[in-house]
């Protein structure tokens, strides 16, 4: 498997995203690496464009402390090449969102971890049950807004209208999912 570090153009995007959207990562900005592998992984027929990983603690030992990375973003180069500039930036932002950094105020020790997704699920699950998982209001609001916009696009295509008063079940129905009465 062929792998190589990302060049300065990719790292410039990462640094720009950190400055704009991820101030919690400024402390470790230089300790984030992006690595390209020849091909993206596939799981169940789905292409996994990239992965966020904590850097292995063995890395500084093997490199005589030359590399002290905290996180590594691994991206399939074949998937990367199929993305436009906006999608590339969004993919990098997605992986930066996964990085959690906490500094102990007393000791100054930095603890890094990879966050779980804010939401996840399967199409079929959503079609059958809607947004059944408990989640915070902010996340739910963002999802409803996102699907509301999509529902409006579908409605526009069909010549109907989705109003601001529609709730998520109306949005699901507008997208072709089950209605609340089924």
Summarised one tens digit per residue, pLDDT across range 85-133 is 999 999 999 999 999 999 888 998 889 999 998 878 888 887 888 777 7
Summarised one tens digit per residue, pLDDT across range 58-70 is 776 777 666 678 9
What one-character DSSP code corresponds to residue 36?
Answer: E
Structurally, the chain folds into a number of domains equal to 2
Distance CA 69, CA 71 (A): 6
Distance CA 57, CA 7 (A): 23
Is position 83 within any domain?
A: yes
Distance CA 120, CA 124 (A): 12
Same domain flag for 91 and 143: no
pLDDT over 70 (residue 157):
no
User: What does the chain come to in residues?
Assistant: 182
Residue 38 DSSP SS3: coil
Is position 179 within any domain?
A: no
| Closest-CA residue to 43 (of 51, 52, 55, 35) | 51
Distance CA 85, CA 83 (A): 7
- pTM comes to 0.73
Same domain flag for 91 and 167: no
pLDDT over 70 (residue 170):
no
pLDDT at 136: 82
Range of the domain at 136: 123-174
Domain boundary among 67, 88, 114: 114
Which segment of 16-20, 69-73, 121-125 scores lowest on mean pLDDT?
121-125
């Amino acid at each position: 498997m062929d792998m190589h570090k990302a060049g300065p153009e990719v790292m410039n995007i990462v640094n720009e995203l950190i400055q704009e959207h991820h101030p919690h990562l400024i402390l470790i900005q230089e300790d984030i690496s992006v690595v390209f592998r020849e091909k993206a992984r596939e799981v169940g027929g789905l292409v996994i464009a990239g992965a966020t990983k904590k850097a292995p603690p063995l890395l500084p030992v093997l490199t005589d402390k030359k590399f002290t990375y905290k996180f590594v973003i691994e991206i399939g180069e074949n998937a990367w090449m199929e993305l436009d500039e906006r999608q590339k930036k969004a993919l990098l932002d997605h992986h930066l969102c996964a990085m959690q950094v906490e500094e102990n105020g007393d000791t100054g020790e930095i603890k890094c971890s990879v966050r779980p997704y804010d939401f996840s699920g399967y199409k079929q699950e959503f079609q059958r049950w809607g947004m059944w998982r408990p989640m915070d209001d902010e996340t739910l609001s963002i999802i409803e807004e996102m699907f509301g916009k999509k529902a409006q696009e579908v409605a526009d295509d069909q010549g109907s209208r989705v109003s601001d008063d529609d709730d998520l079940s109306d949005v699901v129905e507008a997208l072709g999912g089950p209605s609340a009465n089924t």
